[in-house]
Amino acid sequence: MKTSNLWHGCLRAALTVLCVAASAGMVALPQEASAKKKKIGIQLYSVMGAMQKDPAGSIKRLSDMGYNTVELVQWGGDTKVFGMAPADFKSLCDDNGVEIVSTHTGIQEDPAKEEEVMARWRQIFEIQKSCGGRYVVIPSYGVDYTEQGVQQMCEYFNRVGKLASEYGLKLGYHNHSGEFAKLKGSDKVMWEYLVEHTDPNYVFFELDVYWCSKGGKNPVDYLKKYPNRIRMLHVKDEFVIGASGDLDFEAIFDQFYANGMKDYVVEIEIPGWLREERNAAGEKLSDDEIMERMFDAAKQSAKYLAKAKFVK
């Protein structure tokens, strides 16, 4: 009788341990899946028309596709974020599990109105800080492409970048293809000049890999040459990411991660051929129809990046 009781007691104890272990395993699985969820970002300019009309619906659609990081657009220092108060837009993103990492905005230097320009920058930095972002990126800048002109541009970026640092932010610059041409009357490549004549404490670079390639340069070479200056990537292709086969995204991501960086966003621009495409009625696509095609391209791009083993 004593032996039987002892046996049953041991059996109950063993089953209890197994149940606890199984329960712990069941609880851990969702946490592990969440921890392994990839970071996939998008520049909201990709669906700009939809964002302006329906920011809430657009953010939800992008979130459902797998995008969990976004870069904003505030052209000219707009104090609203797609027509919404910054705090309200942040709440919208938070509700959809989306992090705001950066914003694109540009304010041209005006030496005659230095205080006014800097006041506008302060306003932008306040907004981005309240949105929880880390970066403010100048998407383009008017310059005469002489060494003197670009040097003045560098000095302006240094001043604005130093101001950004007071808010705990980094100022960045986003390239197109023109920056990879040589400066007028010089053998110096403009983009390289910008990197080498801006203060690394205050200015970083968001490398648009597509435009870099179109400018005749290899993005991986620049990632190797300036590993600490390129803190963000614009991942872009002819339309859907990875579809053209023209860019070696695996090599780009591998080097970017090797540099210790992680922040990137997809950007999809409306191609010229899409604006000329006709619908079933034989008419050019409406703005809403074009946006639907852009959302489809964004969905396919997110799938490509989610499946790519080289994307973390």
**Nearest CA among 229, 219, 307 for reference residue 261:** 229
Q: Indicate whether 30 pLDDT > 90.
A: no
Count CB-CB contacts under 10 A for residue 96.
17
pLDDT band at residue 1 under the 50/70/90 scheme: very low
Q: Indicate whether 82 pLDDT > 80.
A: yes
pLDDT band at residue 37 under the 50/70/90 scheme: confident
Q: What is the pLDDT of residues 166-198, one digit of tens each?
A: 999 999 999 999 999 999 999 999 999 999 999
Percent share of the chain, pLDDT over 70: 88
pLDDT of amino acid 22: 41
CATH architecture of 38-307: Alpha-Beta Barrel (3.20)
Find the mean pLDDT for residues 281-297: 97
In the chain, domain spans: 1-36, 38-307
Buried b (16+ CB within 10 A) or exposed e, 109-131: beeeeeeebeebbeebbebbbbb
Q: What is the pLDDT of residues 89-112, one digit of tens each?
A: 999 999 999 999 999 999 999 999
Distances (CA, A) of 87 to 45, 84, 91: 20, 8, 6
pTM of the model: 0.88
